Chains A and B, each alone.
Chain A
């Protein structure tokens, strides 16, 4: 062997030097900030957009990552408050809401323009909403706008039933009054011919398609008789409850009372689009060379799967207050890749739930960067209540009680345990009212709120319930056994992912340990899983998660609303619908929350689902990025975001970031809100003079 002593020595020295260099570099991570932390000199924000955005058309994508990109380039009537997510004025300078919350009047600002300089008028909003709801446009988000009068009928290709005498068949004629949430028939905003036509009682609608219509008539003899020799007039875009009263006044008439509708309007689905560009270029209007936008930033370059480069739009009505010169969005898929780029300093923030579970203990130590605030999410399991043994409420309750949620939350690291269907820490006013209503409802059953809250984990009670259901649990050696339980009829279905698997295994162990039941696990690819769960083709339990669309408890509670609900459980109860309808007709927010809480209690007491936890937002941002907050949806209105070069002013202690006052952002928000505050003041004054006027 020619491998001489000298060579060996040199090799060892070389290796040693290499290791020392590596170790030295490794030390860097124990510094104050995570990885490379230096603000960019070009005043450009660099962020992830998740998967390659489905489209830059605000009416198409449904994903949260796309929402963050689209809110930079498109503007709407209202904008999210950067911390609370509540609506603040955007293109609508101010608005008024009718007393029964079924009609909204928006007053648009006169200096809002598209990126090509064209003014943004009320007619543009009417066009944008009509287009997004067009049944041939196939928008998956269209359901968000179904509160607008006849929007659902139009989007679902339905027709009015016109009798030979020229009158339309009304919904209440068929269903009797009280079935549908009735709204005021008086016009609230300025009187117009079209406006008056919007206030009439809701007309009945039936499918345009003859085959579907025949099927419906087959099932409903009464309807068939009423619709005999009637004409079927398809619901048109012009029938929607949308009206441009003048160039800068917009009326939206809803089919029901919906106090949360204003929260919904910040969603990308309701952003304004440019009719000319769309009509000229068709689907291609979203290409960078064609696109006309309305937001604080405009599209400079789009390289699919690589980057989307935005620059500040100098024509934007609020351009003076926009502080970034541009934003670069990188479409990335892998969480580790995102974290690597973040650490290497080429990304300044990642979105929620990106840091992998294994990293969190390390990342948490970077207390200036790691965001741990609650997200408007809920992790839960569904029961297929249409199949035995899960059709038995006692069995469902036993499974719910036998899970140690505290331990699960500790195991997950980024979650808070819960037993309710609205996430914790997101709607504090609602939670307060809910406790009161729960106590009241429980008292009727001779129980207390404390007993209810013990549902977090009570294996003893769980075993008792199983026994009552006919599946006694007995002790065999060190373990519990439940020999009578039909284990072949039950499994846990989840969509393939490491974290879902970990949770499923944790729960499996809990039920084995506490009930003596070993539930088999079954995983499926996402799209397959969705189908199977929705069609109730699963046995036993299914994994589920829900992210709120807007900041109101109803965004969760609507999952059990109506017979065709999205709960994937098969659970339905008309009493629940009645409570929810009543709640949403309520103007007083306290009374409304009371009714919603009653509805929540009603459904949770039957346990069609097992809620486990609310996730935390779990993301990171560099301390030099300011005006970007860990709000419950991790949605960032970019016009408030800026890059701080002065290290003294960097964000420190992420925990306090929501309560700290950043005067520059606050004054910007206050300036925007002032127009609405003034509007409210005028109304209040008008209302008080009305009241003080002597009755004649």
Chain B
């Protein structure tokens, strides 16, 4: 087990460097650069800029310089926001994304599980049909559609909630719901299916036959078996929630990492783009590793070689 974790951790480093290298090549392949402007820069000014950022050196030299910096964990300063370092920007904006992501994760778990369990227990009831229809809708409506719809209804018609920006709790409601919708729906459906299967199984009948009250049957025996598929879904979901808030951040103008990432690409802010790519790729790989490890803990049949 320990060996497995170590091996995986060792793989993460070259993988992250590979991701960064590919990103770097893609950035360099695109014509134009961060100093492309509508107004022609005087050739001397352009030459000064190129010299300052080492753009006049051969490509391989620039590549190894970039790689060397990244290995040392120094992503340098942003090109656009000259007085800020990439590390500082990442640290400053991660909490916004993490807050939204974590809240959405909690929301999805609580609502999804509750809805799934109730739907399973009251199979074929109006609640069952209603919640599963809503879940279907949640699965099929992309968040860039859902977000604006919520804004129109709750911000522009009812004037209840702010339509965008960071701020108080009221600013969090719409983005969290938008982000959580698809996960909530998925968890609800998984929970319902899992619970339905478990509640029909022999050991539940046994538990009931032993005379246990319904609460114990449901929460002690039923739930444990019923949410296994949910657990295997929520692991990767956490990683994608942390890294995948880009659209929601854009729609609601939240100053999170996803938003910064998109802007850095549009601004051709190379160090910032590379820094965020490296950071997110490591984050996702670590999250995946944690999920793989947790499988082993949950299910003793899985062995790591």
Contact = CB atoms under 8 A, between A and B. Distances in A.
Interface in A334-354: 334, 336-337, 340-341, 343-346
Contacts of A526: 32, 266
B253 A332 contact: yes
A456 B93 CA distance: 51
B151 A340 contact: yes
Which size class do A's interface residues fall under? 35 or more
A346 B159 CA distance: 11
A55 B83 contact: yes
Contacts of A207: 44
Given A287-B83, A340-B155, A157 B255 contact: no
A284 B83 CA distance: 5
B300 to A, nearest CB: 41
A333 interface: yes
Contacts of A287: 83
Nearest to A24: B157
B268 interface: yes
Interface in A352-387: none
B124 A2 contact: yes
B158 interface: yes
Interface in A451-465: none
Contacts of B166: 306
Interface in B14-65: 30-45, 47-49, 52
A62 B162 contact: no
Given A138-B49, A284-B83, A334 B250 contact: yes
A158 B42 CA distance: 12
Contacts of A283: 82-83
A564 interface: yes
B126 interface: yes
B46 to A, nearest CB: 9
Contacts of A306: 165-166, 255
A531 B31 contact: yes
A156 interface: yes
A140 B41 contact: yes
A11 B129 CA distance: 13
Please indicate which of the listed interface residues B44, B82, B266 has the most CB atoms of chain A within 10 Å of its own CB. B44
Contacts of A529: 32
B263 A51 contact: yes
A303 B268 CA distance: 22
A453 to B, nearest CB: 29
A60 B253 contact: no
B208 interface: no
Contact of A344 (B39, B82, B83, B162): B162
B216 interface: no
Contact of B45 (A135, A286, A303): A135
Interface in A37-66: 51-52, 54-55, 60, 62
B260 interface: yes
A55 B82 contact: yes
A530 B36 contact: yes
A528 interface: yes
Nearest to A534: B40
A25 interface: yes
A330 B38 contact: no
A137 to B, nearest CB: 9
Contact of B37 (A52, A60, A286, A530): A530
A138 B268 contact: no
Contacts of A62: 37, 39
A650 B270 CA distance: 47
A554 to B, nearest CB: 15
B148 interface: yes
A155 interface: yes
A346 B82 contact: no
A138 B81 contact: no
B221 interface: no
Contacts of B263: 51-52, 305, 333
Nearest to B40: A566
Nearest to B249: A305
Contact of B148 (A336, A344, A531): A336
B125 interface: yes
Given A2-B125, A62-B37, A152 B81 contact: no
Given A156-B42, A340-B164, A527 B83 contact: no
A546 B165 CA distance: 31
B159 A55 contact: no
A97 B157 CA distance: 57
B259 interface: yes
B153 interface: yes
A51 B250 CA distance: 12
B253 A333 contact: yes
Contacts, number: 153
Contacts of A135: 44-45, 48
Interface in A121-169: 135-136, 138, 140, 142-143, 152, 155-158
A345 B164 CA distance: 12
Given A55-B83, A304-B92, A305-B93, A334 B126 contact: no
A3 B166 CA distance: 42
A152 B163 contact: no
A330 B35 CA distance: 25
A343 B250 CA distance: 18
Contacts of B36: 527, 530-531
Nearest to A346: B162
B42 A2 contact: no
Given A138-B48, A284-B83, A3 B129 contact: yes
A303 B255 contact: yes
B278 interface: no
Nearest to A51: B263
Nearest to B123: A2
B31 A532 contact: yes
Nearest to A140: B37
B251 interface: yes
Nearest to A285: B83
A7 interface: yes
A344 B42 contact: no
A36 B82 CA distance: 38
A26 interface: yes
Contacts of A330: 165, 253
A478 interface: no
Contact of A566 (B30, B39, B47): B39
B30 A156 contact: no
A476 B268 CA distance: 49
Contacts of B43: 156
A138 B45 contact: yes
Nearest to A152: B42
A25 B157 contact: yes
Contacts of B92: 304
Contact of B156 (A52, A304, A343, A531): A343
B37 to A, nearest CB: 6
A638 B53 CA distance: 37
Contacts of A140: 35, 37, 39, 41, 45
Contacts of A21: 158
Given A155-B44, A306-B255, A332 B164 contact: yes
Interface string B246-257: 000011110100
Contacts of B80: 54
Contacts of A305: 93, 255, 259-260, 263
Given A54-B81, A138-B49, A305-B259, A528 B148 contact: no
B165 A346 contact: yes
21 contacts: A1-B124, A4-B126, A25-B157, A26-B157, A28-B157, A52-B263, A60-B82, A136-B52, A138-B48, A152-B42, A156-B45, A284-B83, A305-B255, A306-B165, A333-B253, A333-B263, A340-B151, A525-B32, A527-B30, A527-B268, A530-B36
Given A140-B37, A156-B45, 10 more contacts: A3-B126, A51-B263, A60-B82, A140-B41, A156-B43, A207-B44, A337-B253, A343-B156, A527-B32, A528-B30
Closest CB pairs A-B (n = 6): A527-B32, A305-B255, A156-B44, A340-B163, A25-B157, A283-B83
